[in-house]
Amino acid sequence: MSDIRNIVILTGAGISAESGVATFRGPDGLWEGHRVEDVATPEGFARDPALVQRFYDARRARLHEVQPNAAHAALARLDSEWKGDLLIVTQNVDDLHERAGAKRLLHMHGELKSAWCRACDARLPWEDDLGSGPACPDCGVDGKLRPDIVWFGEMPYEMERIDRALMEADLFVSIGTSGAVYPAAGYVQTARYCGARTLEMNLEPSQGSIFFHETRLGRAGELVPDWVEEVLEAN
Ligand code: BJW
């Protein structure tokens, strides 16, 4: 552990579960009431924009009711105390990592609190509903703002930066993700192929569990603070 300098951490819905944000593929998964194709694809949005805007407006509004948990706080502590390189790549569209204080963070699947104008291509911080078809503050065009979320079939954000970090990583850690969605599900293989040690922390073995050197099963709110303590003590 003491020869580690570069760490890449991938987080998924499981890290926010203890904050009260529903995961995708669990029994209470957010999508139970909606088919994935209806709310998380560009085709679904083209078919019924009002439904998709309502779905994301409701999730954006609920962000005010949830708080970061012990796992978010532990990663924020690691971010502030770790002297080497660190990148937290989150698939989550909530803002709980940054509210806990994480800085070296990127949202590969977009953010609920961001809107994307399909008229002028601007991406704007956004707190309110989009369903009412507000005008874009940059170009003034009405009804062209959509949630700044990466849907199926769309390219995730910052792919090159993520790939570079994976290639340079000494340690790759995956937390609270089922390993069902690519390209994130393949990061363990990239990092391992490039020489990183790989660790998974999840409630249950993920779909890519066999690719990890080590798997720790349990709740992120318990496992992550212990692991962060371990890493900081050893370095
Ligand atoms: C706990 C816990 C606790 C619970 N403590 N753990 C066929 C083969 C391969 C790929 C494809 C294919 N057909 C299509 C594709 C590509 C497609 C894809 O992967 N499809 C799969 C269905 C197979 N991917 C894409 O389209 C992506 N784009 C793309 O590939 O572009 C082209 C490209 C090519 C080459 C290189 C690069 C790009 C885009 C994917 C966009 C995903 N977007 C979503 C929706 C966002 C909107 C929204 O939020 O509504 O992002 S899908 C959804 O899944 C969301 C999540 O970020 C993502 C991952 O889910 P996550 O986080 O893993 O959640 P869960 O619920 O699945 O798992 C939670 C885990 O936590 C569970 O294991 C629990 O046990 C655990 N847990 N409580 C610890 N307390």
pLDDT per residue as tens digits for the range 27-76: 655 565 788 888 999 999 999 999 999 999 999 999 999 999 999 999 99
User: Residue 86 and residue 160: Cα distance in Å, rounded?
Assistant: 16
Q: Strand runs (DSSP E) across the chain, as ranges?
A: 7-11, 86-90, 105-107, 110-117, 123-125, 145-149, 171-175, 197-202, 214-217
pTM, rounded to two decimals: 0.96
The alpha carbon torsion through 46, 186, 156, 88 (nearest 10 deg) reads 130
Residue 134 is classified by DSSP as P
pLDDT(210) > 90: yes
Cα angle at 157 between 184 and 44, to 5 degrees? 85
Pairing of the two strands 145-149 and 86-90: unpaired
Other beta carbons within 10 Å of 125: 10
Mean pLDDT across the stretch 128-154? 97
Residues serving a catalytic function are 109
Q: What is the mean pLDDT of residues 180-190?
A: 98
Taking the C-alpha atoms of residue 70 and residue 75, their distance in angstroms, rounded to an integer, is 9
Label residue 22 by pLDDT band (50, 70, 90): confident
Contact 10, 187 (CB under 8 A): yes
**Alpha-carbon gap, residue 22 to 200, rounded angstroms:** 20
Residues within a 6 A CB radius of ligand 1: 12-14, 17-18, 23-26, 40, 91, 93, 109, 149-150, 152-156, 159, 176-178, 180-183, 202-204, 206, 219-220
The pLDDT, as a whole number, for residue 2 is: 63
Residue 59, pLDDT score: 93
If one counts every other C-beta atom within 10 angstroms of the C-beta of residue 146, the result is: 18
User: Cα of 217 to ligand 1 centre, how many Å?
Assistant: 20
- Look at residue 33 in the predicted model and tell me its pLDDT: 73
23 pLDDT band, cuts 50/70/90, is confident
Distance in Å, CA 69 to ligand 1 centroid:
22
DSSP structural state of residue 156:
P
Q: Report, as an integer, the average pLDDT of 128-142.
A: 97
What per-residue confidence (pLDDT) applies to 3? Answer: 85
Closest ligand 1 atom number to CA of residue 25: 66
Quickly state the pLDDT bin for 191 (edges 50, 70, 90).
very high
Nearest alpha carbon to residue 62 among 102, 122, 16:
16
* pLDDT of 26 higher than 70: no
Residue 81: its pLDDT value, please? Answer: 98
Nearest alpha carbon to residue 76 among 217, 233, 232: 232
Rounded to the nearest integer, the mean pLDDT of the chain is 95
Sheet with 123-125, edge to edge strand ranges = 123-125, 110-117, 145-149
Percent of the chain with pLDDT over 90: 91
Mean pLDDT, residues 195-219 taken together: 98
Contact 90, 107 (CB under 8 A): yes
Q: What's the CA-to-centroid distance between 193 and ligand 1, angstroms?
A: 21
